[in-house]
Homo-oligomer: A and B are copies of this chain.
Amino acid sequence: MNDSASEGAPIQRAPVYQTQRRVEFRDTDAAGIVHFSAFFPMMEAAEHEFLRSVGIPVMPHHESEERLTWPRVAASCDFHGPARFEDILQIDLHVDRIGQSSISYRFELTCEGRRIATGKITAVCCDLKAGGKLVKTNVPDDLRQRLSGPQND
C-alpha cells in the first residue's frame, strides 16, 4: 500500500510469473474452441511452474521430509473470448493474497493481446501426515516471502 493507492488509484502489480502454452487438440471441443474446463489444468500447470521457479515443492515426495501440500478450496474462471487449436496463450500469474494458511492466485490468459480468460485458484497450506491425512497449517515465513514474488523485494 502506498499513497497513490489510498487515493483510489488502481494498483497494477506485475505478475510474479509468466509462461506460455500452445493450445493442443485435446483442449478443444466440438464448438471448435478450447473447452471451458481445459483452462483449469492450464492454470494449475502455470502455478506449479511458478512454485518450482521459487524452489517450493508442489507435492511432498515419499522420501522427502518436506510435508507441505496445497489442496484447492476454490477455483473460478471468467471467459472473455474463445481460444482455438494452436493458439499460443500467454499466462500471467498473480498472487492476489497470502492469508494465514491460504494463497489466492489469479491468472490472466491472453492470445496476441486479446483477452481470453481470467481465472482464480485458492489453495490451502496443509501438512501431509502419515496415512495421507491433511491438516491445515500456517504458511511458513520463508515460503510466504518466496510466494510474494520478486516485486516485493
Contacts and interface: CB of A to CB of B under 8 A. Distances in A.
A56 interface: no
Interface stretch (A26-34, A89-97, A100-108): A26-34
A135 interface: no
B30 A28 contact: yes
Contact of A31 (B35, B41, B59): B59
Interface of A: 24-26, 28-33, 35-37, 40-41, 44-45, 48, 52, 58-59, 62, 69, 71-79, 84-86, 131-132
Contact of A75 (B44, B58, B77, B84): B77
A41 B30 contact: no
- Counting from the closest, the 4 A-B pairs by CB-CB distance are A76-B76, A28-B30, A37-B40, A26-B41
Q: Which of A28, A75, A132 has the most CB of B within 10 A?
A: A75
Contacts of A37: 26, 37, 40-41, 44, 75
Contacts of A45: 24-26
Given A36-B40, A36-B72, A37-B44, A30 B85 contact: yes
Nearest to A49: B22
A79 B28 CA distance: 20
A73 B84 contact: no
A78 to B, nearest CB: 5
Contacts of A85: 30, 58-59
